[in-house]
Amino acid sequence: MEKCELAIVGGGPAGLAAALKARELGLKEIYLLERDNFLGGQLVKQTHQFFGSHKQFAGIRGIDIAEIFKDKLEDQPEIQALKGAVAQGYYEDDVLGYSYRGKFFKLKPEKTILATGASEKMLSFPNNDLPGIYGAGAVQTLMNQYGIIPGEKILMIGAGNIGLIVAYQLLQAGIEVEAVIEATGIIGGYAVHASKIRRAGIPILTYHTIKEARGDEEVESAVIQKLNENWQPVPGTEQEMEIDTICLAVGLTPKVDLAIQAGCQMAYVAELGGDVPVRDENLQTSNSRVYIAGDSAGIEEATAAILEGELAAASAAGEIFPGNSAIAQERREIKEKLADLRRGPVGEHIRRGLARVRRNQNAGRDRYTRSWKN
Amino acid sequence: MLEETGIPEAGKIEEKLPSRERLEQGPVAVFECFTEIPCDPCYYSCPLEAIAEFQDINDLPELDFEKCTGCGQCITNCPGLAIFVLDYNYSEEEGVVRIPYEYSPLPEEGEIVLALDRGGEVAGEARVERVQYAEKQDRTAVIWLAVPKEQVLIVRNFKRMED
Amino acid sequence: MRIKDHPILDFKRGEKITFSYNGKSISAYPGETIASALHAAGIRKLTSSQKHQRPRGFFCAIGNCSSCLMVVDGEPNVKTCVVEVEEGMVVEEQQGKGDLSGKV
């Protein structure tokens, strides 16, 4: 069994940033496990320029941020970045098992950073299992990663940032977007994203939901319906749209399987997307060997994920090299950057969620923590 | 309302515009940026320091119209594609709206296109006066649309005739 | 169908390869996943639900949802949304939970 200072699970923005920061702060034995055959996570399909700070990655397209990370990683032979390495389990003796090229390996890291990302939420409606009904991320994967047209005519459900951005990307790929519908009365995503697709003529219909999908072997149409202010369907407002693809952008939920296996105390925090590990301000979970970062710590966006990855790495490094004031300083600086990012009105729900997870209000609802970790 | 439709209402747009006098003096940028989001590349893109320094990364950009020359450096540096340059007195009859554009293929200079307003409705015809697409623009083109003067404050997009 | 002209992305596709799907020959490009190559060929139904035999395609395309499991070169339960297509690969629709006999 191999030992190492730090294992990072997940090669998306949080994991990549964590690996590079850990190396920068002096760690030498670093494993980065990525289940896909490529690094970058969801960055590889983000064709738009990022917001955030000019001093970080603002103004750079997500696809290019992925390349920047990959280039930096190539200069760091101490980081064992394994592509196609699937973490299979975190065991009670703090051993991380993973499969790689058809074989099973065991790794005993002093510290582990979980940066496993998120999965897309489904929505209940009749025939929601028909082929042609995809998560927004799946549509991005098809068109931006593989260059394949997901459909000819799309109905987008959800006007948060992902729904709006993917609608725009569909237009860029030359695909018709019939409408973006949103069940609440407010467009949740940034106004600039909404305006971009509005001025291209795409209607954004608030207080609208999908009543059902229709089709035999594949989706052939969708029935949408108005909702009133109490979110009740308004009879007689059903409208059938001929589309061949329905794209669901109705939120994400953190992927926390390994955190649960590691015995991390969990809490349900709606603002962060669901069950997340309870952690301190340095992203250390109740299992002191395990840190959490990025979307698996709470649904946010890539800029925050990058900073969280760096923070988790600095926290882990701080424990491996105790009393190192440069590392402590680094940690303070990253935390300041994160606070800046979350300070405005759009960061309000994240601040609320983080306050809740830190106060650990929902410990009583912890459904997972196993007794052997007490 | 902007939050309900994605189309900024007239009052909101008004607040972002320079004075009539400044508009008629020559090219000037307008920032149709209405939500406080963590984003600051525009500040760093301006060679004339016409954008007030951000106290907080979530601040809305504040442009000093007197310093702005309408050079357009900021257009492609806005990740939200929310900056336009207006040249009201481009010619006797026409004004020009410079628009960030990320679709393919790009229009030809001289091409007649359909001018669209903020809601994507056809406002009339426009002529593509210039297509800027330099390496440093990072794949965001800037299209100069010549439109009747009264449409300078209305036109924010276009579509090609054959589409 | 594949995207030919994109304002931001430049798809560098290599030499065409072919694989078989339910006995039919399908062309693809190296680097594409099995599911995306099938999608490009207009095939979106990848499997059927086990109980009610309802047609199913993928939902997530990144290996989370398991709605794209197919039999690949005789091996069942392959996540076709993340496994890259290869020249000569034999891809078949899976019936039920898949047959592992002779594979373990």
Written out in words, the top-level CATH class of the domain with range A2-119+252-373 is alpha beta
Which percentage of chain B shows pLDDT scores above 70?
99
CA distance C61 to A247: 13
* pLDDT grade for C100, boundaries at 50, 70 and 90: confident
Instruction: Give the model's pLDDT for residue A19.
Output: 98
Confidence of residue C103 (pLDDT cuts 50, 70, 90): low
Q: What per-residue confidence (pLDDT) applies to C58?
A: 96
Chain B, window 76-105: residues with a beta carbon less than 8 angstroms from a chain A beta carbon: 77, 79-82, 102-104
Contact A195 B118 (CB under 8 A): yes
Question: Among A132, A134, A199, A128, which residue's Cα sits nearest to residue A162?
Answer: A134
Query: Chains with 3 or more CB pairs closer than 8 angstroms to B?
Result: A, C
Over the stretch A34-61, which tens digit does the pLDDT of each residue have?
A: 999 999 999 999 999 999 999 899 999 9
Whether residue A151 has pLDDT greater than 80 = yes
Per cent of chain A over pLDDT 70 is: 96
Question: Is residue C66 within 8 Å of C60, Cβ to Cβ?
Answer: no
In chain C, the N- to C-terminal Cα span, in Å, equals 37
At residue C84, the pLDDT reads 96
What per-residue string of b and e applies to A53-75 under the rule 16 or more CB within 10 Å gives b?
bbebbbbbbbbbbbeebbebbee
| Interval A264-305: pLDDT, tens | 999 999 999 999 999 999 999 999 999 999 999 999 999 999
B133 touches chain C (CB under 8 A): no
Does pLDDT of B161 surpass 50?
yes
Question: Are A172 and B104 within 8 A, CB to CB?
Answer: yes
Q: Is the pLDDT of residue C37 over 80?
A: yes
- Enumerate the β-bridge partners of residue A295: none
Biggest distance spanned by C-alpha atoms of chain C:
49
pLDDT at position C35: 98
Q: Is the dihedral of CA A298, A187, A302, A328 positive or negative?
A: negative
Which residues in chain B are closer than 8 Å to C8, comparing Cβ atoms?
Answer: 102, 139
Which of C:8-27 have CB within 8 Å of B?
8
- CA-CA distance, B2 to A208, in Å (whole number)? 17
Euclidean distance between CA atoms B67 and B28, whole angstroms: 9
Taking the CA of residue A335 and the nearest CA in chain C, the distance in Å comes to: 31
Is the pLDDT score of C18 beyond 60? yes
- Cα distances (Å, whole numbers) of residue A14 to A9, A43, A70, A140, C23: 10, 11, 13, 20, 42
Residues of C in contact with A63 (CB under 8 A): 8-9
At residue A366, the pLDDT reads: 58
pLDDT of A373 higher than 50: no
Domains in chain C (CATH in brackets) are 17-92 (3.10.20.440)
Q: Cβ of B133 under 8 Å from any chain A Cβ?
A: no
Distance CA B98, CA B33 (A): 16
Helix (H) or strand (E) holding B30: strand B28-31
pLDDT score, position A368: 65
Q: Quick check: C6 contacting B, CB < 8 Å?
A: yes
Q: SS3 of A154, please?
A: strand
Share of chain A above pLDDT 90, in %: 94
CB B22 within 8 A of CB B4: no
Q: Which two tokens stand for residue A10?
A: 């997940």
Contact A58 B80 (CB under 8 A): no
CATH number (1.10.357.140, 3.40.50.1970, 1.10.10.60, 3.50.50.60) of A125-248 reads 3.50.50.60
Q: Looking at the predicted structure, is the pLDDT value of residue A363 above 70?
A: no
- pLDDT, position A175: 97
- How open is the CA angle A191-B76-A17, to the nearest 5 degrees? 80
pLDDT attached to residue C97 = 87
| pLDDT digits 0-9 by tens, B23-80 | 999 999 999 999 999 999 999 999 999 999 999 999 999 999 999 999 999 999 999 9
How many angstroms away from the CA of B141 is the closest CA of chain C? 9
Neighbours of chain C (3+ CB pairs under 8 A): A, B
CA B162, C1, C4, C8 dihedral sign is: positive
Give CA–CA dist C57/C49, Å, rounded: 10
pLDDT at A371: 45
Residue of B nearest to A176 (CA): B163
Cα-to-chain-centroid distance, residue A372: 30
pTM of the model: 0.96
Indicate whether A374 pLDDT > 50: no
Q: Can you tell me whether residue A326 is helix, strand or coil?
A: helix
How many angstroms separate the CA of residue C5 from the nearest CA in chain A? 8
Q: What is the pLDDT of residues A219-239, one digit of tens each?
A: 999 999 999 999 999 999 999
Say yes or no to pLDDT of A153 above 60: yes
- For residue A117, give the chain C residue with the closest CA: C64
What is the band of A365 on the pLDDT scale with cuts at 50, 70, 90?
Answer: low
User: What are the helix (H) ranges across chain A?
Assistant: 13-24, 62-74, 136-140, 161-172, 191-198, 257-261, 302-320, 325-342, 348-359
User: Within chain A, which residue ranges are assigned CATH 3.50.50.60?
Assistant: 2-119+252-373, 125-248
Residues in chain A closer than 8 A to B39 (CB atoms): 51-52, 58
Per the CB < 8 A criterion, the answer to whether B70 and B29 are in contact is yes
Average of per-residue pLDDT across C40-68: 95
| B127 pLDDT more than 70 | yes
Instruction: Read off the pLDDT of each residue in A146-156 and give the average, rounded to a whole number.
Output: 97
Give mean pLDDT, residues C57-68.
95
